[in-house]
């Protein structure tokens, strides 16, 4: 199945697909400037927790490759500046911060060699490893999660968790792809996922390319379809998972989880262990608030079209938090975590 790498490091450039134009057209961009990579993450040209981690790592690679001096201290200063800029793009997906820490740690370890060239090579190598590990974990999660899908299932998914949100193949969509590739005749129900329509624009586009049957619904239709027995299982992604099993994901996830619990529909989260954050507690979890105009307007590139009165006040949290009691299981590349999650997730992290 053809999957896209939404962001890649090609020579000394970062190349990415501006997903805001999908499904109308594929607009590819490139830059040698880490600040431009940061802007692309902030503007959600590159989006999806794993993909923004990979993009941030490649941003650090640009900072290293385009630092002209040969003094190691100067190069480390440049990398710390880049890390700060990239870390200030979006606050919720832990993959971004985990990737930046990993690349910075590798750079500092490489200074023992004393040469700026060794530091540059180490940074590029670590960024590529992060990309490759994400692709490999997507495929492993796909195989593990596909066992939970039966032939004939109708699977609901929310937002976009495919190869436009990861280094390739996808998390929840990776599970759906794997089940399809195993010959299971499934059908997907994709929610539109207002206000930026990642489901209507990206998930539908990906599944159509894969030839996987998909029906698009408005976010408001989930409860009705579950009440009519039209949904067999829910599979969706995550941006940050706590050891308690609480997880942040695209706004609208929590209400789907409540409806799934009420209607006895199994509710599965699919995410690599790099999305689990063992360091913070629930009250430290930051939910990104985005531009109110995203709710007042159509999504890019029709953002000049308002769907309401221009000065209406707005709430625009980009994510919500779902409690563990609403989660059937969490599928990772290391295995499936079942409640109690503070035990099962810890065990998976300890490998
Ligand atoms: C595998 S993507 C995980 C996660 O990231 C998305 O957020 P966004 O589109 O704002 O970057 C969404 O919450 C997905 O479930």
Per-residue model confidence as pLDDT tens digits over 103-154:
999 999 999 988 999 999 999 999 999 999 999 999 999 999 999 999 999 9
Indicate which CATH number applies to the domain containing 66: 1.20.120.420
Q: Check whether residue 114 and residue 245 sit in a common domain.
A: no
2 within some domain: no
- In angstroms, the CA 323 to CA 244 distance is 8
Query: Which element (helix H / strand E) includes 335?
Result: strand 335-337
Q: Check whether residue 285 and residue 189 sit in a common domain.
A: yes
Q: How many domains does the chain have?
A: 2
Q: Which of helix, strand or coil describes residue 240?
A: strand
Mind listing the pLDDT tens digit for each residue in 57-73? 999 999 999 999 899 99
What mean pLDDT value characterizes the chain? 97
273 within some domain: yes
SS3 content of the chain, % helix, strand, coil (to 5): 45, 15, 35
Q: Check whether residue 330 and residue 233 sit in a common domain.
A: yes
- In angstroms, the CA 53 to CA 30 distance is 17
- Cβ atoms 122, 108 nearer than 8 A: no
- Cβ atoms 158, 193 nearer than 8 A: yes
Q: Check whether residue 110 and residue 201 sit in a common domain.
A: no
Residue 166 Cβ inside 6 Å of ligand 1? The answer reads yes
346 within some domain: yes
pLDDT of amino acid 137: 96
Is residue 263 predicted with pLDDT exceeding 90? yes
Ligand-binding site membership of 260 (annotated):
no
219 within some domain: yes
Active-site residue, 239 included: yes
Q: Which two tokens stand for residue 318?
A: 């980009």
Catalytic residue among 18, 134, 210, 239: 239
Residue closest via CA to ligand 1's atom 8 equals 48
Q: Check whether residue 267 and residue 168 sit in a common domain.
A: yes
Residue closest via CA to ligand 1's atom 15 equals 237
189 forms beta bridges with 156, 215
Is residue 2 predicted with pLDDT exceeding 80? no
Q: Final residue of a domain: which of 83, 107, 139?
A: 139
State the residue range of the domain holding 181: 141-350
Q: Check whether residue 113 and residue 95 sit in a common domain.
A: yes
- In angstroms, the CA 261 to CA 264 distance is 5
Q: Which two tokens stand for residue 235?
A: 């599979």
Indicate which CATH number applies to the domain containing 316: 3.40.50.10470
Write the CB contacts of 216 (distance below 8 Å, at least 6 apart in sequence): 190, 192, 199, 200, 204
311 within some domain: yes
Q: Check whether residue 90 and residue 27 sit in a common domain.
A: yes
335 within some domain: yes
In sequence order, what DSSP letters do the residues of 133-151 get, joined into one string?
HHHHHHHHHHHHHHTT--T
Cis peptide before 195, with omega less than 30 degrees from 0?
A: yes
Q: Check whether residue 124 and residue 159 sit in a common domain.
A: no
pTM of the model: 0.97
Other C-beta atoms lying within 10 Å of the C-beta of residue 119: 24
Q: Check whether residue 207 and residue 319 sit in a common domain.
A: yes
pLDDT of amino acid 180: 98
Q: Given pLDDT bands bounded at 50, 70 and 90, which one contains residue 4? A: confident
Q: Check whether residue 32 and residue 130 sit in a common domain.
A: yes
Q: Final residue of a domain: which of 83, 111, 139?
A: 139
Q: Final residue of a domain: which of 100, 120, 139?
A: 139
> Tokens 């941003």 sit at which residue?
59
Q: Residues 237-264: what's their mean pLDDT?
A: 98
Q: How far is the CA of 50 from the centre of ligand 1 (A)?
A: 8
* C-alpha to C-alpha distances, 163 to 180, 181, 302, 308, 335, nearest whole angstrom: 16, 16, 24, 33, 21
Could you give the ipTM of this predicted complex?
Answer: 0.99
- In angstroms, the CA 98 to CA 95 distance is 5
Q: Which of helix, strand or coil describes residue 10?
A: strand
218 within some domain: yes
> Which has the higher per-residue pLDDT, 300 or 105?
105
Residue 199 Cβ inside 6 Å of ligand 1? The answer reads no
Q: Check whether residue 272 and residue 247 sit in a common domain.
A: yes
Q: Check whether residue 318 and residue 338 sit in a common domain.
A: yes
316 within some domain: yes
Mutate to test the pocket of ligand 1, among 47, 166, 291, 294 (most ligand atoms within 8 A of CB): 47
Strands 233-236 and 154-157: parallel
**Backbone region of residue 118 per phi and psi (left: phi > 0; alpha: psi in -120 to 50; beta: other values):** alpha
pLDDT of amino acid 168: 86
Ligand-binding site membership of 132 (annotated):
no
């Amino acid at each position: 199945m053809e999957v896209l790498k939404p962001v890649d490091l090609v020579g000394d450039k970062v190349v990415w697909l501006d997903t805001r134009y999908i499904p109308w057209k594929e607009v590819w961009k490139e830059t040698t400037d880490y600040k431009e990579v940061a802007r692309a993450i902030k503007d959600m040209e590159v989006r999806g927790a794993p993909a923004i981690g990979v993009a941030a790592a490649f941003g650090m690679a640009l900072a290293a490759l385009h630092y002209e001096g040969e003094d190691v201290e100067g190069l480390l200063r440049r990398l710390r500046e880049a890390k700060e800029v990239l870390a200030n793009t979006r606050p919720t997906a832990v993959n971004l911060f985990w990737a930046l820490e990993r690349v910075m740690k590798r750079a500092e370890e490489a200074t023992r060699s004393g040469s700026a060239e060794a530091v540059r090579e180490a940074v590029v190598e670590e960024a590529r490893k992060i990309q490759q590990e994400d692709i490999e974990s997507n495929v492993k999660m796909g195989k593990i999660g596909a066992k939970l899908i039966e032939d004939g299932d109708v699977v609901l998914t929310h937002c976009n968790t495919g190869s436009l949100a990861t280094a390739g193949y996808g998390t929840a969509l990776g599970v759906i792809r794997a089940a399809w590739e195993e010959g299971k005749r499934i059908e997907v129900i994709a929610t539109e996922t207002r206000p930026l329509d990642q489901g209507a624009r990206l998930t539908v586009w990906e599944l159509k390319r894969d030839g996987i049957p998909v029906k698009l619904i408005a976010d408001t239709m989930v409860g009705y379809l579950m009440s009519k027995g039209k949904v067999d299982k829910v599979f969706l992604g995550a941006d940050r998972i706590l050891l308690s099993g609480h997880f942040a994901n695209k706004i609208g996830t929590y209400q789907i989880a409540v409806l799934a619990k009420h209607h006895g529909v199994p509710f599965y989260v699919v995410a690599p262990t790099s999305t689990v954050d063992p360091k913070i507690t629930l009250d430290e979890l930051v939910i990104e608030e985005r531009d109110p105009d995203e709710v007042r307007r159509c999504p890019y590139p029709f953002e000049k079209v308002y769907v309401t009165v221009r000065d209406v006040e707005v709430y625009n949290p980009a994510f919500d938090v779902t409690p563990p009691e609403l989660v059937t299981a969490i599928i990772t590349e290391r295995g499936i975590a079942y409640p109690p999650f503070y035990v099962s997730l810890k065990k998976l992290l300890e490998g």
